[in-house]
Structure 1
Amino acid sequence: MLVTFVAGISYWLWWGTSRLPVVDRAPNWTLQNINGQREVFQDLGSRVKLIEFIFLNCPDICPTTTINMVKMQEELKRKQLFGTHVAFVGITFDPERDNPELIKKYANNLMGK
């Protein structure tokens, strides 16, 4: 009985900490990528998708959040997970002003390029 209890708790702890719960599938959006081309969200495959909602005229929290995303991207690249297991998706709240050219410039400034 004790062995079964310990095995059950061990399995629960391992399973609970090794997987993220799937709440629901994201809709199959069609978005414009940074090169101005259309991309279907589901075409990113089974990779974990980290989504950041921004607008370039955001004066405070957006740059801080994006800098944190850049740091995560660098760490994921170091661990060889970025691109193969994890994809970043940035979605603007202001597509009328945040065109691909401005988004590229914004990204390059944050990455020090």
Structure 2
Amino acid sequence: IEAATKTAWATDKGMTIAIGVVTALREARILLPSISTIERASSAGRARARKQAAYALIADLSAEQVHALDQVFDDAGGMSQLASLKTIPVAPRPDHIRQILDRLRQVRKIGISP
């Protein structure tokens, strides 16, 4: 999982993370487990890296800025407000681009440096 976390810090691609796990196991001269075990370790590492990235993004913010971020979205659709902020639509549709730009403007108002 630690090898997956290290690899996932730089990418979110599942195959690249799995290769990082296999490489780490081979370097440690550990017999490779089943593909499903490698996949589960890769998924767990990716989740850990995402959590670390989220914490790294807010680590230097003041309490007031974190509170302002929490207030950014009134209707988060069942997600925490910070989770909805980091959930960015990926399809290249005009509505999605508009949503991303609106979120960016809201975050800029809080005074978070680029």
* TM-score under structure 2 length normalisation: 0.29
Higher RCO (C-alpha 8 Å, min separation 6):
1
Q: If you compute each CA radius of gyration, which structure gives the higher value, 1 or 2?
A: 1
More helix by share: 2
